[in-house]
Amino acid sequence: GLDAVITYNGTRFDMPFVKARAARYGLDSMYDTPHNLDLYHIINKFSELRKVLPNLKQKTVENFFGLWNTRTDEIDGGESVALYERWERRGERDVLEKILLHNSDDVRQLTRLTPIVKKADVHRAMSNIGFPVKSLSVKGIRFEIGGSAADLSIGSGGRLTVSGVQRKRPLSYYSYDADGRKGDIAFDDRRAEFSFTVPLRRVGDLTVIDLDRVLPDHAGLSESPFYESGFLVVKQGEEYKYAEINHFIRLFLTKVLEELA
């Protein structure tokens, strides 16, 4: 199965349509829903393009990036939906050809449009809308910040809680940390969900994760400019370090999956 698909406004139409069709033909139990990387969602909420463009329709954005001349279709997305419903009722060949041409151009253009993420704050976007990690999809990242700057004890800075769904072959696993020094892990196979919590520390205006305690094998994070002596800065003052947060989550979940394999 796929880990992820790239769409443009697929959250609203493409993915619900695919799920509904899978259910119609009795394939929903066999269908592993891939993580949806929706480019429209990313540029709509995490870029400045909305301020400079009249709208964020795919063709408008393509035109802005000089990609319009590579299109050959004659309709837009709204017309495509109406024509598809008409084709389902009447089966007209010329209508079908218009739809297929539009869909083909959409897919081809999407591959050219993917670099648009460079115009967005990608790391902040991923922290907010989630991202795939092997067979998992991260859906929620929540910080509970507390403690005083002078309190350096474990958990003094609050905690980080990450939750999401298990897309394939759900596992059942629970690990609870009685003294709150390493955090909790929960994988629910019946609901196909997961979550984990790790304690945070406060050091001055920094909120950090003690990697030596919660992720001893953290070589992948040691090159970060916000890593020092086994600690990873995830918040400085009011600024969250989204790239470091996402990287930590990816490594942590990868390690858990390896141990459960």
- What is the rounded CA–CA span in Å between residue 122 and residue 124? 5
**Full-model pTM:** 0.85
How many C-beta neighbours within 10 Å does residue 108 have? 14
Give percent above pLDDT 90 in the chain.
62
- Cβ within 8 Å of residue 130, ≥6 positions away: 35, 137, 138, 139, 140, 141, 164
Mean pLDDT of the chain: 89
Predicted confidence at residue 156, as pLDDT, reads: 60
pLDDT digits (tens, 9 = 90+) for 160-218: 999 999 988 899 999 998 666 778 999 999 999 999 999 999 888 899 999 999 999 99
Distance between CA atoms of residues 205 and 238, nearest Å: 9
If one counts every other C-beta atom within 10 angstroms of the C-beta of residue 226, the result is 17
Q: What is the pLDDT of residues 98-115, one digit of tens each?
A: 999 988 888 888 989 999
Supply the pLDDT for residue 239: 96
Cβ neighbour number for residue 71 with a 10 Å cutoff: 17
- For range 35-41, the mean pLDDT: 93
Residue 211's nearest CA partner among 163, 255, 172 is 255
Confidence of residue 150 (pLDDT cuts 50, 70, 90): very low
pLDDT, tens digit, for every residue of 11-28? Answer: 998 889 888 888 888 887
* Residue in 175, 195, 161, 158 with CA at minimum distance from that of residue 259: 175
> What is residue 87's three-state secondary structure?
helix
pLDDT digits (tens, 9 = 90+) for 39-96: 999 999 999 999 999 999 988 998 898 887 777 777 877 788 899 999 999 999 999 9
